[in-house]
Structure 1
Amino acid sequence: MTLLQRLWIYQAERFPLAKTVPLLACFSAASITLSAVLSGRPLPALSAYLVGFFLVFILFFQMRVADEVKDGEDDAKYRPERAIPRGLVTLRLIVSLGAVTIPLGILLAQIHGAGLIWLLALTWAWLTAMTFEFGVPAWLKARPVFYLLSHMAIMPLIDLLLTGIEWLPHGSATPALWIFIALSFSNGCVLEIGRKLWSPENERIGVDTYSKLWGAKRAAFIWLGFVGVSAVLLIGVGVVTGFPLAFILIGLLGFLFCIYAARRYAINPTPKTEKQMDTVAGLWVFGCYATAGFLPLALGGLP
């Protein structure tokens, strides 16, 4: 196979563009739009949205590269079927591609200006610390909850960067925006736990999952707890934007759907319900950002 063919297979397995691009486009556009709506300002130019999308795409790809680095030894030992251990691509190639995106990110931030480079640098600093497990890999590995929370803390930083594209040129963010940034943290936990709720037959030695850590029922309940936190924060966005009833309705309907999915998985954790939990987690997060970012705009119109 050619290099491009191998990279195409790699993205399908490890960084699926068909799922990633729509979610990141919604996430970045919603963050920028909501910042403008909450501040009562007109929407920024299309260039701001393009900068936001490409920056968040770069950051998420870099997070994938970071995972390949820190999980390399475990993958070779316990997951030899993955792209790098089986020799589809080399770790050096993937790290090189990640390194190439660094000057691209700097260029995008500098083109936008307004001090955006400093928020990007802050996000990269946290990502670097995550890659090296904050210098305490054994301590974190023994404490999965701290591992989850420390790694998901990058989500609010990314959201601060995205919203900063809109508010930095105006000096400061509106305090109400912190509700949305907190939503990004809880939604990060929803995604991370949701993708690690496995069926018993898919569990394997050396691979940490939340279903193995807590058991399927308890893990589903904890996942649902984070969904509930996200729902409350989503309603909070509705309150500060002036449309609480619409947000309550959407949040409640989405939460009920998540209850249904979590209950099915908890009762019968099969490969099918495992896959459904991953899908539902993604749909919930996508729905949260679409609702928070665009519903106030649709109901209230442009400032």
Structure 2
Amino acid sequence: MNKNDLTAASPFRKRLAAYFAERFPLSSHLSMVFIYFLANQFLAQILCEPEHPMRIGWFTLLGMISLFCLFLHLRVFDEHKDYADDCRFYPDRILSRGLITLRHLKILGGTAIAAEFIVAGLRGAQAVVAVIVTFLFSWIMLHEFFVRHWLRTHFIVYAIAHMLIMPFMAATVFSFTMRRPFWEAPFLFWVYAIADFLAFSNWEISRKIRMPEDEIEGLASYSKELGLFTSCVVVLVLRLLNTFLAWMVGVYLHLGPLYYGGLIVLFFGTLVGVLHFWLKPSRRTAKHLEAYGGWYIIFFYFVLAAELFRLHGVTFTGDAL
């Protein structure tokens, strides 16, 4: 059923499914959580216990559930934070039309947060601490660092501040994997966490580059704040830095040519997308920038996980916790 055909009388499950399809596509989020967690888990194990084989067990599933619920509760927090603006600028959205309400999302978000803490409790105190710290940062984000007006008038700072949640996610993966406090993570793990931050920042900027005719009065975008050319330069610089840090991690781990080849292909994929937009700026090529950024994230983690698997193999443990 088309979302425009839905009404308040439509079955709730259809309205909820339409909301997820519009604001939190399950297939893409599940894919991203799976490969993100696996890559960072393998990295943590190789850095902390290089003499032991990498492991996958029930703790992997628990961590993935917690991470998925974290992304979901972040979406719910964003919906509450941006509700007034979304009703003004996007009146056709499911939430703006009242087909799903903020009360519904509070229940959904509360369930997700409860699930995060329950599965963290099953894994141990270190995972609980990581989840608590990450939740507290997300709560501060919800309140826009208690400087809402200032942040809203400094869009670039606003965006960077909100992307800082990424290192906290990496910290959560580390604690779920190693059963150690996240502050004990090796230096190279944090280097890759910065690469995570840059990869997601690249996607965040790419999806908010618009043609002048698509800009919405009163709604910020990177193309409006920086201009089309400068926005694209920033996208390329972030990708270059992201690739450099990932490359350095690979050098330290003595990864093979398949890993470096993957990074090169991914970088040139971004370059081609940006050049295409520069040469033929249009609504279509602008949307391609967002698609390139999204697919990059998936394959960025895939090349690391695949290369570590190729070099070290993996064992499956039946240990529950």
The TM-score range, normalised by the shorter chain, is over 0.9
> What displacement does 1:292 show?
2.1
Indicate whether 1:64 and 2:72 are aligned. Answer: no
Q: When the two structures are superposed, what TM-score results if normalisation uses the length of structure 1?
A: 0.94
SS of corresponding position for 2:199: helix
**1:19-98 to 2 correspondences below 5 Å:** 19-39=28-48, 40=50, 41-98=52-109
Unmatched tracts of structure 2, length 5 or more: 1-9, 316-321
SS of corresponding position for 1:44: strand
Check whether the contact 2:56–2:314 (CA below 8 A) recurs between aligned residues: no
Check whether the contact 2:191–2:249 (CA below 8 A) recurs between aligned residues: yes
- Deviations along 1:28-76, one digit per CA (max 9) or x if unpaired, are 1111111112221333342111112111111111111111111111111
Cα distance in 2 for partners of 1:270, 1:87 equals 33
> What displacement does 1:287 show?
1.5
- Deviations along 1:159-202, one digit per CA (max 9) or x if unpaired, are 11112212225994333211211111111201211211122332
Indicate whether 1:18 and 2:27 are aligned. Answer: yes
Check whether the contact 1:74–1:206 (CA below 8 A) recurs between aligned residues: no
The match for 1:141 is 152
> What displacement does 1:245 show?
4.1
The match for 1:179 is 191
Indicate whether 1:9 and 2:21 are aligned. Answer: no
Check whether the contact 1:65–1:94 (CA below 8 A) recurs between aligned residues: yes
Indicate whether 1:296 and 2:305 are aligned. Answer: no
Check whether the contact 1:261–1:276 (CA below 8 A) recurs between aligned residues: yes
> What displacement does 1:299 show?
2.9
**1:87-126 to 2 correspondences below 5 Å:** 87-126=98-137
Indicate whether 1:277 and 2:289 are aligned. Answer: yes
Cα distance in 2 for partners of 1:226, 1:244 equals 24
Aligned positions, number: 303
**1:152-163 to 2 correspondences below 5 Å:** 152-163=163-174
Check whether the contact 2:126–2:176 (CA below 8 A) recurs between aligned residues: no
The match for 1:228 is 240
Cα distance in 2 for partners of 1:12, 1:266 equals 30
More displaced 10-residue stretch of structure 1: 239-248 or 116-125:
239-248
| Percent sequence identity over aligned pairs | 27
> What displacement does 1:267 show?
3.0
Indicate whether 1:250 and 2:259 are aligned. Answer: no
The match for 2:5 is none
- Deviations along 1:84-133, one digit per CA (max 9) or x if unpaired, are 11122111111221011122111100001142101100000110000110
> What displacement does 1:158 show?
0.5
State the one-letter code of the partner of 1:63. Answer: L
SS of corresponding position for 1:115: helix
CA RMSD of aligned residues (A): 1.8
The match for 2:7 is none
Unmatched tracts of structure 1, length 5 or more: none
Cα distance in 1 for partners of 2:205, 2:72 equals 19
Cα distance in 2 for partners of 1:138, 1:290 equals 39
